Structure 1
Amino acid sequence: MCGISGLFDLQGTRLFDAALMARINDVQAHRGPDEADVHLEPGVALGHRRLSVIDLSMGQQPLFSEDRSVVIVFNGEVYNFQTLRQELEALGHRFRTRSDTEVILQAWLAWGEACVHRLRGMFAFAIWDRRQQTLFMARDRLGVKPLHYAVLADGTLVFGSELKVITAHPRFVRTIDPRAVEDYFSLGYVPDPRSIYRDAQKLPAGHTLTWRRGQPKAPTPQCYWDVQFTLDNPIAEADAQAELLARVKESVKLRMIADVPLGAFLSGGVDSSAVVAAMAGHAGQPVRTCAIGFDDPQFNESEFAQMVADRHRTDHRLEIVGSDDFDLIDRLAHLYDEPFADSSAIPTYRVCQMARKHVTVALSGDGGDEAMGGYRRYRMHLAEESARQSLPLGLRQMVFNPLGRLYPKMDWAPRFMRAKTTFQALAMDAAQAYHHSMSRLRADARSRLYSDGFKRALGGYQSQELFQAHASRAGTDDPLALIQYIDFKTWLVGDINTKVDRASMAHSLEVREPLMDHELVQWLATLPSRHKIHGGEGKHVFKKAFEPLLPHDVLYRPKMGFSVPLARWLRGPLAQRMQQAVLSDRMLDSGLFDAAELHRWVKAHQQGLADHADGLWMLMMFDAFLRLQERAVQDHP
């Protein structure tokens, strides 16, 4: 696991400044503390920060072909590299290292851009081929590893694992993209391919990008893989359970290859517990498991993690975190480089910090809910979709739009009385309704929050357009598959993978996600949706498959989630800090917000008249981002 960076002259062969290249490479030193190196030649500069995991003595990067005409920088792991190496050796390719990096390089020499189809793993890499005057960039299919890039006004391409590589370049202009702000205040993160900056982008998951020197305009990212929800697998349920168990075990086994200490996160939830159970079946010694608990029982799952640890006799480590563990706000803003409002980034940061004391590589259960229908919101969406399909859209809009406007917003009331959101969703199409349910701030709240000037800057853009665009490419109208597809394109990449990548890399910890293996994900996409949600139970076939290996209480208890007590924080120990952030001069002078609405939200939440916890947390994290911006301008005017 590493950090990569680079510069490329799109038109000529300028020699880049070595000190500048070293500086932008070192801003992500936390991603690779073991080694650092850069390569410069006319028109090209490549940098690498290394966290040694495989081939500790010989896997240095940038890595060159035998004749030094091709060079690669790579972040991630290719789990089938040993099989690919054998295939390439049979074709006459010679290897000097045992690393998966060299396997990618030789795969490029053998198959060119098609090499990505052979790779099974998580990766972001760039290959400079001097013979073809081509820079080739690629990102893994599920977007586990990040890759950012920008083209500067002087024709320089700058790219890196983290956005801070881009912003470290003195010629990059930090102009905020209004559409990214709208996406953020809707979803709590900036979804691919946008970044918070107008002139920087993220390479989408499952895409490549080929830059050729002298080409007249910037290339368009090319999709090389997309999940296909065919739902046409005729397999019987018992056979599906057996095959799923075998596939998960195989995916886990592939991810246990390492030359450094390896373990797993164990939250006590279904997915991480299943991964640990599969690891225990392959390990010759007790699996190292790491968990954190909270001193607030409402958020503490540690007893369930202990059940799994006892069942599989793991070497289990537990640390208890205080429920008022909120001192990471500024640290998180620095890690994520752009506004990021998933408050579970705090416990994620802590569990990575704790795990790194014991292991260098940790397996996680991320991706299971998206692939197997585990979220409660999926079941709610299916219930709403059943109602939507029973009435024409025009009639639904006629009936439910007025109800959605008139029904009061009752955050304080029992859940069954909070019908406003449901009424609003019933007047929408499926993609729009799912966006509505996923929005941290609904469209009406965002409209009140934004200033008139910012609304004009948006030019009518609304974040729901992103969901509708993905829905149009989903290739399915199955209600569950459609929203799973949208989650694969938005939530999984933009929130979950981003959160885990930055939190783990902050501690130089490599996290591997066996439930995001693309072969497993694609096989699951062939299963009919009834295998995923059945009798009101999410992840039905997955839970049945793991019944022999996991306690019943772990499999079938209500999903808790990895969350923190935001509302209480913002009325208690964080109240003053929240008020200072939300009503700071930075926020009020930004031109983005209606000042009166900011004051109303702060007052109403602190007096207990409304629950604005999500919105206020997003505003706090946005203020933290603006504060970083201010500091950067002061340091480099």
Structure 2
Amino acid sequence: MCGIAGLFDTRGKQNFATELIARINNVQAHRGPDELGLHQEPGVAFGHRRLSVIDLATGQQPLFNEDQSVVILFNGEIYNYQELVPELKALGHVFHTRSDTEVIIHAWEAWGEACVQRLRGMFAFAIWDRNQQTLFMARDRLGVKPMHYALLDDGTFIFGSELKVITAHPGFNRAIDPLAVEEYFALGYVADPRCIYRGAHKLTPGHTLTLRHGQPVPPSKPYWDVHFSLDNAISSRDAQAELMQRLQESVRLRMIADVPLGAFLSGGVDSSAVVATMAGLTSTPIRTCAIGFDDPNFNESAFAQMVADRYHTDHRLEVVKSDDFDLIDTLAWHYDEPYADSSAIPTYRVCQMARKHVTVALSGDGGDESFGGYRRYRLHMAEEKARGMLPMGLRRPLFGVLGRLYPKADWAPRMFRAKTTFQALAMDAAEAYQHSMSVMRSDERAALYSDGFKAQLGGYGAVQIFREHAARSGTDDPLAMIQYLDYKTWLVGDINTKVDRAAMAHSLEVREPLMDHQLIEWLATLPNSHKIQGQEGKYLLKKAFESKLPHEVLYRPKMGFSVPLAKWLRGPLAQRTRDSVLGPRMLDSGYFNPATLKSMVTQHQSGQRDFSVPLWSLLMFDAFLRQAGDGRAPQ
């Protein structure tokens, strides 16, 4: 786990200044505090910050092949690297380290761009092949590891693990992309491959990018996608047995490390399943880490303790006060872009605590997406059934009118909060799911934005992201469709971004066995009945672990990793909310309707409405603007 940074001259072979590559590399020193490495030659400059995890003695980067003609920068882990070594040796390749990094170099020499097909893991890497005069970049299938890049006006191609590598270059133009602002206020993050800045991009997960001197930067190319066939006729009992075998393999591969290793244990089904599997693979007590909250409405630590007691783990718990909101500016710096998921706060804290005891931690991230665990999945399937009863020509006008007329009732019992449901029933499946995932609905964003900013958007809406992915999904099954959408949007843009930045802020490597691509490919063959039965999500996972985990852990209501936002914004954060949302930086930015901002703050703090999520999004946007510069909307 590391930080990488590089410069490539697309027009010629300029010599990049050592001071420049060192400076842009060192802005992400937190990602790799153990070692610093640089490599320069005409037209190329590579920088690396290392967090030593595997092959502590000889795994330094940049790393070269035998004749020094190929050099690599690598962030991540290749879990099947030990399996590839004998095959590559048989092809004549000579190894000088025990690192997974060297495996990638020889895989490139052996198989070229197709090398990524052989790699099982989380990764973002760049290879410079001097003989082929080629820069080759790749990102893992599910976007666990980040990669950002930009083409500067002078022809310099710059890339790095974090966006701050790009913005540290004096030639980068920080003009904000209005479409990215729309995506942020719709989703709470800027969706891949867009960045908050017009000139920067994220390499799309499951894609590669190949550059050569004197040639234009081409579009990235996909090398993987998930296909939902849903045609596996396996029985429930056999599926449970095969799931256990696949999980054991996935966890075993992720327990390879030359440094202290442990696991997050939230008390939820996913992390508990990972810990139970780990305990079955070693006789040494597993180090487990949990965060508790002094507010019982947000505290799952008792359930984590049940699992820790059952498997006799070396369990560490830290209780966080319910007013732990002093990380706003810290998070804005680490995330580089506006990022609105408030669970970044407890995630930051659990990573901070875990790093005191381990260097590598396994997590349960990805379980909800793959096993059908979200409540929104069941709601969407019910809505799809209702949508199927009427043609769009009738649904859109009928439910559109009801959605506009029905009052917003955040205060009411859920069964009476029909406005959002009416709005969703007037939409197609992709639009309805994006609607359900929004931190602010389309009508709310329309009221939020200034007329000038809406003109800048030119009719663009974040729903286009969902429609484009839906068109590529290859399925019209309601559950498979939204699982696919989550793999492409929520999992990458929210979950993986949150965990990567929070973990690397503390030089902690996090591994996700439930995101193993081979496991996901297998789960995508299973019928929906293995994932959701009635009102029970994660059916297969829960049944498989009934003999291994307490019933209270498996079948309790889902809590999530959240914080008391509404309470904060009416109490200890009330003044900061007013000062930020209604301050000159936001009001003068050109993005917002001042009357809407004032109404949201007033109604929320009076208790009339719950605008906690939109207001938190605005708070984090203001924190981003404060660190990014004046942040004015483009004219």
TM range (shorter): over 0.9
1:209 is matched with 209
1:78 is matched with 78
2:310 is matched with 311
Matches within 5 A, 1:578-617: 578-617=577-616
After superposition, the C-alpha distances for 1:609-631 in whole angstroms (9 at most, x for unaligned) are 11111111000000000000128
1:425 is matched with 424
SS of 1:534's equivalent? Answer: coil
Structure 1 residue 398: Cα displacement:
2.6
Any stretches of 5+ residues in structure 2 without a counterpart? none
1:225 is matched with 224
Structure 1 residue 29: Cα displacement:
0.2
Structure 1 residue 529: Cα displacement:
1.0
Matches within 5 A, 1:34-73: 34-73=34-73
CA distance in 1 between partners of 2:57 and 2:18 (Å):
25
CA distance in 1 between partners of 2:422 and 2:587 (Å):
33
After superposition, the C-alpha distances for 1:262-304 in whole angstroms (9 at most, x for unaligned) are 0000000000000000000011200000001000000000000
Matches within 5 A, 1:99-248: 99-215=99-215, 217-248=216-247
2:87 is matched with 87
CA distance in 1 between partners of 2:631 and 2:299 (Å):
38
Structure 1 residue 137: Cα displacement:
0.2
1:345 is matched with 344
Change (3 A) 1:617 1:632: closer
After superposition, the C-alpha distances for 1:321-353 in whole angstroms (9 at most, x for unaligned) are 000000000000000000000000000000000
CA distance in 2 between partners of 1:590 and 1:17 (Å):
36
Structure 1 residue 249: Cα displacement:
1.1
CA distance in 2 between partners of 1:514 and 1:169 (Å):
36
1:253 is matched with 252
CA distance in 2 between partners of 1:399 and 1:584 (Å):
41
CA distance in 1 between partners of 2:66 and 2:90 (Å):
17
TM-score, normalization: structure 1? 0.99
2:453 is matched with 454
CA distance in 1 between partners of 2:628 and 2:254 (Å):
38
SS of 1:385's equivalent? Answer: helix
CA distance in 2 between partners of 1:596 and 1:430 (Å):
33
Q: Which amino acid aligns with 1:66?
A: E
SS of 2:541's equivalent? Answer: helix
After superposition, the C-alpha distances for 1:343-383 in whole angstroms (9 at most, x for unaligned) are 00000000000000000000000000001100000001011
Q: Which amino acid aligns with 1:5?
A: A
1:484 is matched with 483
SS of 1:282's equivalent? Answer: coil
CA distance in 1 between partners of 2:233 and 2:159 (Å):
45
CA distance in 1 between partners of 2:157 and 2:469 (Å):
28
Structure 1 residue 535: Cα displacement:
1.8
CA distance in 1 between partners of 2:332 and 2:477 (Å):
38
SS of 2:150's equivalent? Answer: strand
Q: Which amino acid aligns with 2:108?
A: W
Is 1:551 equivalent to 2:550 in the alignment? yes
2:388 is matched with 389
After superposition, the C-alpha distances for 1:509-534 in whole angstroms (9 at most, x for unaligned) are 00000000000000000001111011
Deviating above 6 A after TM superposition, structure 1's stretches of 4 or more consecutive aligned residues are none
After superposition, the C-alpha distances for 1:206-236 in whole angstroms (9 at most, x for unaligned) are 0000001111x22111000001111111111
SS of 2:257's equivalent? Answer: coil
CA distance in 2 between partners of 1:445 and 1:97 (Å):
56
Matches within 5 A, 1:428-447: 428-447=427-446
CA distance in 2 between partners of 1:452 and 1:328 (Å):
33
CA distance in 2 between partners of 1:21 and 1:515 (Å):
36
Structure 1 residue 607: Cα displacement:
0.8
After superposition, the C-alpha distances for 1:88-116 in whole angstroms (9 at most, x for unaligned) are 01111110000000000010011110000
1:536 is matched with 535
CA distance in 2 between partners of 1:399 and 1:245 (Å):
48
After superposition, the C-alpha distances for 1:1-60 in whole angstroms (9 at most, x for unaligned) are 000000000010000010010000000000000000110100000110000000001000
Structure 1 residue 72: Cα displacement:
0.2
SS of 2:629's equivalent? Answer: helix
Matched-pair contact (CA < 8 Å) for 2:176–2:631: no
Any stretches of 5+ residues in structure 1 without a counterpart? none
Structure 1 residue 632: Cα displacement:
11
Matches within 5 A, 1:267-416: 267-416=266-415
Q: Which amino acid aligns with 1:522?
A: E
Q: How many aligned positions are there?
A: 632
Q: Which amino acid aligns with 1:447?
A: A
Give identity over the alignment, percent: 73
CA distance in 2 between partners of 1:535 and 1:604 (Å):
38
601-610 or 254-263, which moves further after superposition? Answer: 601-610
Is 1:3 equivalent to 2:14 in the alignment? no
CA distance in 2 between partners of 1:398 and 1:332 (Å):
43
Matched-pair contact (CA < 8 Å) for 2:447–2:596: yes
1:499 is matched with 498
CA distance in 2 between partners of 1:221 and 1:470 (Å):
16
Structure 1 residue 495: Cα displacement:
0.3
SS of 1:7's equivalent? Answer: strand
CA distance in 2 between partners of 1:534 and 1:412 (Å):
30
Structure 1 residue 548: Cα displacement:
1.1
CA distance in 2 between partners of 1:433 and 1:623 (Å):
29
600-609 or 25-34, which moves further after superposition? Answer: 600-609
1:517 is matched with 516
Q: Which amino acid aligns with 1:556?
A: Y
SS of 1:445's equivalent? Answer: helix
503-512 or 81-90, which moves further after superposition? Answer: 81-90
CA distance in 2 between partners of 1:605 and 1:371 (Å):
36
CA distance in 1 between partners of 2:627 and 2:64 (Å):
37
CA distance in 2 between partners of 1:245 and 1:558 (Å):
24
TM-score, normalization: structure 2? 0.99
Q: Which amino acid aligns with 2:123?
A: F
Q: Which amino acid aligns with 1:458?
A: L
Change (3 A) 1:181 1:5: same
CA distance in 2 between partners of 1:67 and 1:139 (Å):
26
Q: Which amino acid aligns with 2:517?
A: H
Q: Which amino acid aligns with 2:163?
A: L
CA distance in 1 between partners of 2:115 and 2:434 (Å):
35
Is 1:14 equivalent to 2:14 in the alignment? yes
CA distance in 2 between partners of 1:462 and 1:503 (Å):
29
SS of 1:374's equivalent? Answer: coil
SS of 1:138's equivalent? Answer: strand
Q: Which amino acid aligns with 1:231?
A: L
2:32 is matched with 32
Q: Which amino acid aligns with 2:12?
A: G
Matched-pair contact (CA < 8 Å) for 2:585–2:630: no
